[in-house]
Amino acid sequence: MAGHSPSIDSKTLWGGGSSPFNVSYGKIMMWFFLVSDAFTFSGLLISYGFMRHSFAESWPVAERVFTHFPFMHGDHPLLYVALMTFILIMSSVTMVLAVEAGHRMDKKNVTKWMAWTIVGGLIFVGSQAWEWYHFIHGTELGAFQLADGTIVQWVDAAKEAFYLPGKEQVMVSGAEAAAMLKNGVEVYGANLTVNEYGLPLFGDFFFFITGFHGTHVFSGVVINFIIFVNVLKGTYEKRGYYDMVEKVGLYWHFVDLVWVFVFTFFYLI
């Protein structure tokens, strides 16, 4: 009878009593998506591990690549990425506080914490842009690419002697260095084909993994913003629950979770 459904109570409609998981449909689907996304990120990080183990001796040390800090001179390894990690953890806290406020139907606090989460996400994306800029731009001194493609690091600004890549620093200087320097080019910064810090593969993985994560953060900010507007409009207040905030919350925590792993495997190890 189209247009006139008798009111069957939802327990009957389900056919099996209550949901076996006691979780709303939207949240289950978000979890499914997150598991599949986790596989993608794991694939990227594991392939990073594969290449790193394959080129164990010549792999650049991330600590020596990312040493810049805004408004500060000199080398500050790990400091900047630690700050980024802090920002993302902080925005995870504000997100979970928004979810908690939603459970109490506290519209004012959901609005406040969602707003802070969006701010945190934007700062994080901005920080990543800044780091990309420095990685692409490179150092003042640059490096040298020998005829066979090997990247060697200058000993000093005179650019007459250099270190070969490897665990022990092997210095080449004098006539031998001059002969090797005849064929080759100076390189500055990194892109997908050349990388002054060492293997181009390192740059490729850096751009792909942090880029893929950054895209997640950015889309998370956009989705958070849409939900934020709905919160402001009172959509969920009218609906009687803030399940939507929980769903975007799950996504946002996942983004933070991925960063925890990127931080460890890309920057620390």
Partner 1 sequence: MDFDRTREYVQHHSEAEGKVQRKMIWVIFWVLLGITAVEVTLGLVWNEIGLAWPFVKWTFILLTLIKAYYIVAYYMHLKHEYKNFIYMVILPYVVLVLYLIILALNEAVYVHDTHGLL
Residues lying near partner 1 in the complex (CB under 8 A) are found at 5, 7-8, 10, 14, 18-28, 31, 35, 38-39, 42-43, 46-47, 49-56, 63, 77-79, 82, 85-86, 89-90, 92-93, 95-97, 100-101, 103-106, 240-243, 249-250, 253-254, 256-257, 260-261, 263-264, 267-269
Q: Residue 77 or residue 200: which is nearer to partner 1 going by CB?
A: 77
Written in H, E and C, the secondary structure of the chain is CCCCCCCCCHHHHHCCCCCCCCCCHHHHHHHHHHHHHHHHHHHHHHHHHHHHHHCCCCCCCHHHHCCCECCECCCCCCHHHHHHHHHHHHHHHHHHHHHHHHHCCCHHHHHHHHHHHHHHHHHHHHHHHHHHHHHHHCCCCCEEEECCCCEEEECCCCCCCEEECCCCCEEECHHHHHHHHHCEEEECCECCCCECCCCHHHHHHHHHHHHHHHHHHHHHHHHHHHHHHHHHHCHHHHHCCCHHHHHHHHHHHHHHHHHHHHHHHHHHC
Closest contact distance (angstroms) between CB of 146 and partner 1 is 17
Q: Residue 53 or residue 108: which is nearer to partner 1 going by CB?
A: 53
Closest contact distance (angstroms) between CB of 96 and partner 1 is 5
CA gap 205, 210 in Å, rounded: 8
Q: Residue 37 or residue 160: which is nearer to partner 1 going by CB?
A: 37
Closest contact distance (angstroms) between CB of 126 and partner 1 is 20
Closest contact distance (angstroms) between CB of 36 and partner 1 is 10
Q: Residue 189 or residue 198: which is nearer to partner 1 going by CB?
A: 198
Closest contact distance (angstroms) between CB of 86 and partner 1 is 7
Q: Residue 52 or residue 213: which is nearer to partner 1 going by CB?
A: 52
Closest contact distance (angstroms) between CB of 67 and partner 1 is 12
Q: Residue 164 or residue 250: which is nearer to partner 1 going by CB?
A: 250
